[in-house]
Structure 1
Amino acid sequence: MTIDTLPYPADLTDGVVSLRAHRRGDAEALAEAVRESVDTVGRWQDWCHAGYAIADAETWMESARKSWLLADGFEMLIVDAASDRVLGGMGVNQRNKEQRFANLEQRFANLGYWVRQSKQGRGVATRAGRLAIGFAFAAVKVARLEIVVAEHNLPSRRTAERLGASFEGMLRKRLVVKDESLDAAMYSVVRGDPGVSAS
């Protein structure tokens, strides 16, 4: 079996934010960003809790490295382009690599994101999302990206809309948050959409 993994990117930046792979020294900064964000990100992501420790960050980063090497998903940090301060996370994940139709390989993946609480509302997720979408189409070679957001997670839904994603409908009981099944909005971005770069 051939694994079509990708090298870590070195040039995903717009001059304000950058996307980069996790580094071994990132655990403390990542844990601090997660703990800061319990009141906002923690409402929608069970992994974001007040007890998130450096060991949790290290476990996550190791899982992300393995996922990248297997080409199953590509998790990156959002960082300040000038200072390299951790601003959040962005992932092209849950990648479908198997589905083929005749001679067309129909690859799709999920786009997920979070921004630390002190940097929310400043366009960080939108900037990083544009970089991730370009990466997904140009490097990962997906044809479709899906953004699945809890119905009442309005900030994440607004980010999907600012990224130019199309709202496709409400999926019943699609996500589980705090042991509760929630309806979720499905958005998509496909290669060839207006304003979407594939290079």
Structure 2
Amino acid sequence: MTPLQAGSFLLRPFIAADAPAFAAGVRESMDSVGMWMTWAHAEYSDEQALSWFEWCDASRADGSAHEFGIFLADGVTLVGGGGLNQLNAVNGFCNLGYWVRASAQRQGAAAAAVGALSRYAFEQLNQSRVEIVIAAGNEPSAAVARKAGATHECLARNRLKLRGLCVDAHVFSMIPA
């Protein structure tokens, strides 16, 4: 698959060689990413990253999700991950998610990834709507959605589950221009 250009960043499918950087990125980001991404934990391993990459490949193959690593322009230095999932074929919309490792936050990677992923959703996957659902209190992620041009639609009650508890979440959307 052709990588996606995202400003000074590049999005591409994960490969096995990315596993150590992915796992290290998760572990270094527990204070920011860990509280919002239930899969993230302080002992996240290379093996867990490889298992995730296998899921990503299988999901891309069956069309149920399109997950990417977010890299510097060199395509080697991993700064995070993002993707499109929960594709609704009947109504033509999907969910967009992202995370950026602590050492690369506040450098524009997430907003650039949102732009590239939404274009991919509209142009390659023929989606008519992209949703970004963000747990209430996750202000950095909400700021990314706004910066990327997403429209805040509502605060939906009990929209997400974090560690088994229902939490309210902001629903942002993007539609083709």
Identify the residue that residue 195 of structure 1 maps to in structure 2.
none
Mapped pair 1:148 → 2:144: no
Q: 2:68 aligns with which of 76, 82, 86?
A: 76
Identify the residue that residue 28 of structure 1 maps to in structure 2.
20
Residues 87-98 of structure 1: matches in 2 within 5 Å?
87-97=79-89
Residues 33-182 of structure 1: matches in 2 within 5 Å?
33-82=25-74, 84-97=76-89, 99=90, 106-182=91-167
Task: Give the whole-Å Cα distance in 1 for the aligned partners of 2:168 and 2:139.
Answer: 13
Deviation (angstroms), 1:168: 0.8
Q: Is the 8 A contact 2:131 2:174 kept in 1?
A: yes
Cα RMSD (Å): 1.1
Task: Give the whole-Å Cα distance in 2 for the aligned partners of 1:83 and 1:21.
Answer: 10
Deviation (angstroms), 1:115: 0.2
1:34-58 CA deviation, whole Å, 9 max, x = no partner?
1111110001111111110011101
User: Which letter does structure 1 place at the counterpart of 2:135?
Assistant: A
Structure 1, unmatched stretches of 5+, are: 1-7, 100-105, 193-199
Task: Give the whole-Å Cα distance in 2 for the aligned partners of 1:167 and 1:9.
Answer: 31
Q: Is the 8 A contact 1:93 1:110 kept in 2?
A: yes
Structure 2, unmatched stretches of 5+, are: none
Q: Is the 8 A contact 2:136 2:167 kept in 1?
A: yes
Identical counterparts, % of pairs: 37
Match of 1:172, SS? strand
Moved over 6 A (4+): none
| Bigger Cα Rg | 1
* Distance change >3 Å, CA 15–CA 125, structure 1 → 2: closer
Task: Give the whole-Å Cα distance in 2 for the aligned partners of 1:40 and 1:176.
Answer: 17
Superposition TM-score, scaled by structure 2 size? 0.96
